[in-house]
Amino acid sequence: MRCNLNILFIQSAIILLFAETLSSQTISGILYDKIKNHAVQDAYVFIDDSSIGTISDESGYFNLELKELNNLTLIVSHISYENKMVEIKQNTSTLDTIFLIENSFELNEVVLNTASNKRLRKKRMKRFKNAFLGSDENRKNVDILNPDVILFYEENNTLYAIADEPIIIQNDHLGYTINFFLKEFKLQKNEDVFYKGNTSFKEMDGSKKELAKIKRNRRKVYEETHRSFFYDLINKNIEEDTYIIGSSQKNYIGKFVQFCPVELDSLSIIENSDGNFELSIENHFTVKPTNALQANNIADASKGGGRLYSTSLQEVKQDNQDKSISYLGSKSNKIIIDKNGRIINSSEVEEHGYWATKRIAYMLPLDYKIMKSKEFQ
């Protein structure tokens, strides 16, 4: 059998060191009601998937201090208006006036007829939490503080969830309060799940001892993510024999077969003109850790997989496969990664296996600081 992973990164310079400090830039703008043409104050303006956020003042003005991040999306949220998304272009400091449209959120008849059924709602909420938050060891320290904002309905053996307010999630394990702005959620009868939305993180307070424990928890969780793997990969920071890397094919029943290993030294890491890294793949890029890093707290990866958005997951069921292995496929046969290890073309990428089981309980903000290994000691 011919084995061709065909991995290529396009680059102009290699980043060799972890960033000890992140330089800052600011971005500002003004919010206006599109119809009434007046300033919108008290809107929450934040960078998606980060802990960077602020409130607009009485003139609709906001100003954010950004860390050295790229490929960012600005989200504007206000209870009286529809959420607004604005892509931030590189080197932008001032945005055009952002016009907001008043909310027109309406509940359909199916939702209204089932919201009062307490027994049915309890059953649906349990399924929702297991699929959305996760069902592994970390889950016991994560909960939803405002479950009443979530409404459910079912069609064609699929459970749907909607929320016209952000879902507030408290993660004691990682020390964050998360506002999750749910755009879509559907859970099929076989527990395959798809969800997407926008997230904002806020640091939780704690004692010195508690914060030290949280720091250790974050490090451990970070090291189990694809973000950590790709960050180390593009910085040539992966130790030899830490991972087995290659490609796999997915057969007609959803199992991965015909694995072709590739030596880590054969990968060429270069950077393109946008400062991102392009990984060209055939079939499914496959990663298996050779150490015991992922031996603990492994969720049921037989249910892992699916399309990965910035904060979404669609699962494709698999059975009887190694729960520590992760598989990534792409419609474009490319995985584009930024300098922080984040997948940029996430709407094209399907993620299966171990990494796909990392749900809300494992979420870290984009501005989570990456430090040198010695700083973790």
Residue type at 306 in one-letter notation: G
Per-residue model confidence as pLDDT tens digits over 227-263: 999 998 888 888 767 888 888 988 887 788 888 888 7
Residue type at 203 in one-letter notation: E
- Mean pLDDT (whole number) for 12-37: 64
> How is 135-179 classified by DSSP, letter by letter?
SSGGGGGEEES-GGGEEEEEETTEEEEEESSPEEEEETTTTEEEE
- Please state the domain extents for the chain: 25-100, 109-203, 213-376
219 φ/ψ angles, rounded to the nearest 5 degrees = -60, -45
Q: Is 63 left (phi over 0), alpha (psi -120 to 50) or beta?
A: beta
What 3-state class would DSSP assign to 262? strand
- Mean pLDDT (whole number) for 90-111: 76
Position 320 pLDDT exceeds 70: no
User: And the tokens for 363?
Assistant: 């979420």
> How is 70-91 classified by DSSP, letter by letter?
-SEEEEEEETTEEEEEEEEPTT
- Count Cβ atoms below 10 Å from residue 125 Cβ, excluding itself: 15
Confidence tier at 358 by pLDDT (50, 70, 90):
confident
- The radius of gyration of the chain's CA atoms, rounded to the nearest angstrom, is 21
Asked if residues 348 and 33 have their Cβ atoms less than 8 Å apart, the reply is no
Confidence tier at 224 by pLDDT (50, 70, 90):
confident
Angle at 27 between CA 73 and CA 19, to 5 degrees: 75
Domain 25-100 has CATH 2.60.40.1120: yes
- Spatial neighbors of 176 by CB under 8 A, at least 6 apart, are 51, 201, 202, 203, 204, 363, 365
Position 105 pLDDT exceeds 70: no
